[in-house]
Amino acid sequence: MRTIAEFSQKSLHHVSACGGFTLIESLVSLSIVTLAIVGPISLASTSINASRVVREQLTAFYLAQEGIEIIRNERDINRLFVGAPGGDAEGEPDSSNWGDGWLSLCSGNGCELLVDATETDLDYRIKSCNDSICTANETVLTYNSEKTLYGREATQGWESSPYSRKVSVEKAQSPNEDKEAIVTVTVQWTASSLRRSREVVVTEHLFDL
């Protein structure tokens, strides 16, 4: 027959052994749960940052392509409305120079320009920079969240954006300097997730039609 002391000692030993095993199980379970939670959260954070980088790159590319299209449109206007009744798109006398309004703004073989697709007056859609070089402040684009447009407006509703854009124009080498121009658009911005400067450069060769 067991004495009360023996029974109490054995029960205490059994409880202690079970308690130690349960603690180990709890630690293992907690580790598994932690990994199960942290893994998806880390993956989601990485995916969000990656999507933000892709969105910024796409925006920069479209802004660069827009700069090319503005210059191309000016070239087309100079040529398509030559000889048309009533003059060009603005009702002005016809232009025989395919580079009027963009290449003509350069004093030498090339220069840097500012473009703004939101400008309704074609005469101000393309601007030349002082001394043919655009400063950092001049190239900064503004953004209108209501219209979801990028431009160079500084009025109410427009706020500074992380993007800057400049257009470089230069004549081709001889003997095609009068028939060909090289247009390069550079868009720079500071990536919000990488915290470093990035840029997109698009180059197009435009020809006299």
Q: Which residues does the chain have with pLDDT short of 50?
A: 7, 12, 15-19, 83, 85-89, 91, 93-95
Q: pTM of the predicted model, to two decimals?
A: 0.72
CA separation, residue 172 to residues 15, 111, 129 (Å): 90, 13, 21
- Burial level of 82, CB count in 10 A (0-12/13-18/19+)? middle
Q: What is the pLDDT of residues 12-64, one digit of tens each?
A: 455 444 445 577 777 777 778 777 777 777 776 777 777 888 899 999 999 99
CB 161 within 8 A of CB 147: no
* Sign of the dihedral defined by the CA atoms of residues 129, 134, 135, 137, in that order: positive
H helix count then E strand count, the chain: 2, 7
